[in-house]
Amino acid sequence: MTVVATRRSYRQFCGLAAALDVVGERWTMLLVRDLALGARRYGELLEGLPGIGEGLLAQRLRHLEAEGIARRTFSQAHGAVVYELTEDGMALFEALVPLTAWGLKRVDLDDDEGVKADWLAVALRARLDPLQTSGVEERYAFWVDDEPFTIAVGDETIAVERGEPEDPALRVDIDLDALMQIGAGAMSITEAREAGRTTISGDPKAISRYARLWTGIRR
């Protein structure tokens, strides 16, 4: 018979240790990252985490469910079972953004094996500062190659999702390689613009509000 799974715990009276007791094991935080961009099916998650064992993914999902971080629901849109973050799971993702920003400096540009637009959306979110929002509720269309993303801005909140927004206040187009180089600090936005790698179109005031969101980027 199976023995009771004695989860390994740091058992320290500390917020960081408590967080790591819950999401410190391999793949768990990346799973939260993938779910942060929207509801995902089991197969989509597998695809987004190359190298994870199938059994391990099932185990991690059950754990996130038990901890109230993710939720298993039936999606009309997908016509199938999907996993999505709870409110607390979203709060966790927000808490991971600074760590993501720190790690961005260490991304290996020459290792584009397995580049995915989704991961860039996360990187995108890590570079936008919710405190710079103007309070205006609006959405920006952000196209990376032929992949559309929505940047939804509200009062001190920013969400980045896959898909095209309705009624966008502006539209940004950029190719994947340029975005990678900008994110890693290897190219400035101005250089990308001059090289025709990116364009912005829309209401100038919206562009001004949008530009203010960016942090830690060479203009």
Partner DNA sequence: CCGCATCCGCGTTGATACTG
Partner DNA sequence: CAGTATCAACGCGGATGCGG
Residue 153 binding a second copy, by CB under 8 A: no
Residue 27 binding DNA, by CB under 7 A: yes
Stretch of 22-30, 38-46, 156-164, 196-204 contacting a second copy, by CB under 8 A: 22-30
Cβ contact 127:183 at 8 Å:
yes
**Member of 44, 65, 84, 94 binding a second copy (CB under 8 A):** 94
**Member of 45, 70, 123, 178 binding a second copy (CB under 8 A):** 123
168 vs 108: CA distance, rounded Å: 33
CB of 80 to DNA, least distance (A): 4
107 vs 136: CA distance, rounded Å: 33
Q: Which residues pair with 140 in a beta bridge?
A: 151, 170
Residue 51 binding DNA, by CB under 7 A: yes
**Member of 43, 53, 103, 163 binding a second copy (CB under 8 A):** 103
Binders in 68-127 for DNA, by CB under 7 A: 72, 80-81
Q: Which is nearer to DNA, 6 or 13 (CB)?
A: 6
Q: State which amino acid sits at residue 145.
A: D
Which class for 184: exposed (0-12), middle (13-18), buried (19 or more C-beta within 10 A)? Answer: middle
180 vs 67: CA distance, rounded Å: 34
Cβ contact 39:83 at 8 Å:
yes
Binders in 171-190 for a second copy, by CB under 8 A: 180, 183-184
Task: Enumerate residues 6+ apart whose C-beta is below 8 A from 83.
Answer: 35, 39, 40, 41, 42, 45, 61, 64, 70, 71, 72, 73
Query: Contact positions toward DNA, by CB under 7 A?
Result: 5-8, 25-27, 41-44, 51-56, 58-59, 61-62, 72, 80-81
Query: Contact positions toward a second copy, by CB under 8 A?
Result: 10-22, 24, 26, 29-30, 33, 50-51, 91-92, 94-104, 106-108, 111-116, 119-120, 122-123, 126, 180, 183-184
